[in-house]
Chains A and B, each alone.
Chain A
Amino acid sequence: MAFPLMSLLVNPNAFFSRDSSEWESLRVPALIVLAAAIMAGATAYLTTDLVAGIMPSDVQAYQGVMGIVGTIGAVVITFLIWVVWSAVFFVISLFFQGQGTFRRILAVTGYGYLPILIGSVISLVIFWIFSPAIHVSPVTDVQEIQAAVMALMHQPVMILVSVLGIIFLLWAANIWIFGIRYARVISLRDAAITVGVPVALYVIATVWNMGVVS
């Protein structure tokens, strides 16, 4: 049976309203998260390349190591965040007498990573094209590193990538709402609250860090 990709993206209610045995397996969600993690790792590698340019020249000698560490870290953290999102949804849905297992929430959250994966690919392409326009200068004082990194994160390309991340996260949230509804057997309103509150907090924090709101 072909994977109902479009159904998951545009009509998640139809996707999750099927028999739960068709979607509660972790194999496909884990593959989606793995793909998103690889994309995140590639983006992290490019970001590390930029951040290394900020570092003092003696630290720049370790640029290769920093890139590898950043890439592996991004992959691991993507999987951790998958689990964290699932845990948050699981805990919040407890307030609404949710009944499904944590494994089902993991599956739902993993499916929700599909738009995040699409967004990661687009972000990576944009970052690949436009990051050469970012200019960084090596700092001479270690105390300047934080300010230099902040300045780097406020570069238009970096903000654009963050905005794309928010858009695709909202798309993922839409999937998560319908998925949680069926995974925890709660109402659509309760599922919206379960997913909407932490996602909204995350979006606000992200926008705050971008410096758009201060």
Chain B
Amino acid sequence: MKAAWILLILLASAILCTPVAAEETGPRLIVSEYRLDPQVLMKGDVGVLTIRLTNTGPDPATINSARVNGVEVTVKQNPYTDVLSLGSGDSITFTYTVYTEAPDGLYYVKFTVDYREGGQLRYAIPVEVDSTSLRIAVVETPAALAQGMKGTYQVVVGNPRPNAASAVTVTPEGEGFVVTPSSSFVGTLEPDAQSTIPFMVTPLRQSFIRFRVNYRNGINAHTATVTLPLDPSENRFTPELALTGIRVTAGPGYLRISGNVTNIGLDHARAITLTTGGEATPADPFRVFTAGVLEPDRSTPFEVTFRAHTSVSRVPILLSFKDAQGTTYTDSMDVEFDRQALAEQASEPTRFIMLLVWMLVIVLAAVIIYAWRKG
């Protein structure tokens, strides 16, 4: 009787200690390998689960179906419902598409194989869900952010995920600045690895700059961003032009604006051009005024000529110049003028001439009187 009890205990232990839950009553099939791509899913991700089944028994095995089931991690499709035969020592690979909306955690999907002769092989496969995203941070900004001046932003992308991220790309976004490079490709970022990318940013006005990292977890696209304000101060070392001594006069068939253009900035102004805009039509002889380099605190006289309808009494002067970096600056200044004043200017000499006219009239009268007296 005691020997019978020992035998029963040994038999139970043999059953409970079997490492793979293979059904001992049928063929000897085992899950020799499984793989999930990506290794760790993020919430909303789709993964590809590959399971390799091997016949380790001496006889061929025939199965009716092989399927995967799960609760938190679901299978999109179970395509293997046909009868399959697996010879001794042969293997077969099953591929399933899994999907999860579960929060972070470790979940299991159940792989079940139905034998034709009856019985099943059941195998639990762990699936890890971790929605931690890549980290992107700006670790270095220009000491002084000046309008129109380039500054370097050091952007770091780190991977705190337990698996690698692929196709990592960092792209700056926004308006009101010029940036190079327009995008930077990092490639694959291993777990706990990081990459530093420099971006040369030239702010043109107050705005925001957003650095976006795009990456893939398996076949799933993800993104993360970091946004910084761009609040450039006025560049103290740029050229700045001012127009002074503006005078509007009339010419033969055109109006003339003359004055001085002065560089009140702290840097050389280059490729200076002045012309009229708005309702004014630049006209010869000075459609456009151009000047080469104008040093700080220096001025040069300018003159532009234009035509405008008689109803126009204000025209903008369009200024354009460049700094040493080749950045183009534009500005405009409205010049008002009084058409009546120009008309008076035109007729002002007439007052003097009218004196001459009256003198001529008097001379003529004297001549006529003299001639008629003599006649």
Contact = CB atoms under 8 A, between A and B. Distances in A.
Contacts, number: 89
A167 B309 contact: no
B337 to A, nearest CB: 11
B364 A49 contact: no
B375 interface: yes
Contact of A50 (B252, B360, B374): B252
Interface stretch (B70-78, B186-194, B346-354): B346-354
A79 interface: no
Interface of B: 250-255, 307-310, 342-343, 345-347, 349-350, 353-354, 357, 360-361, 364, 367-368, 370-371, 374-375
A188 B373 CA distance: 12
A191 to B, nearest CB: 10
Interface in A94-144: 126, 129-138
A133 B375 CA distance: 44
A156 interface: yes
A14 B374 CA distance: 8
A25 interface: no
17 contacts: A9-B367, A13-B374, A49-B253, A53-B307, A130-B346, A133-B250, A134-B252, A134-B346, A135-B250, A135-B251, A136-B253, A137-B309, A138-B307, A155-B346, A156-B343, A170-B368, A171-B364
Main secondary structure of the interface of A (DSSP, over half): helix
Main secondary structure of the interface of B (DSSP, over half): helix
Nearest to B254: A135
B370 A11 contact: yes
A164 interface: yes
Closest A-B pairs by Cβ, 5 of them: A133-B346, A53-B253, A13-B375, A156-B347, A132-B252
A135 B255 contact: yes
Contact of A174 (B345, B353, B368): B368
Contacts of A134: 250, 252-253, 346
A131 B360 contact: no
A67 interface: no
B250 A130 contact: no
B364 A170 contact: yes
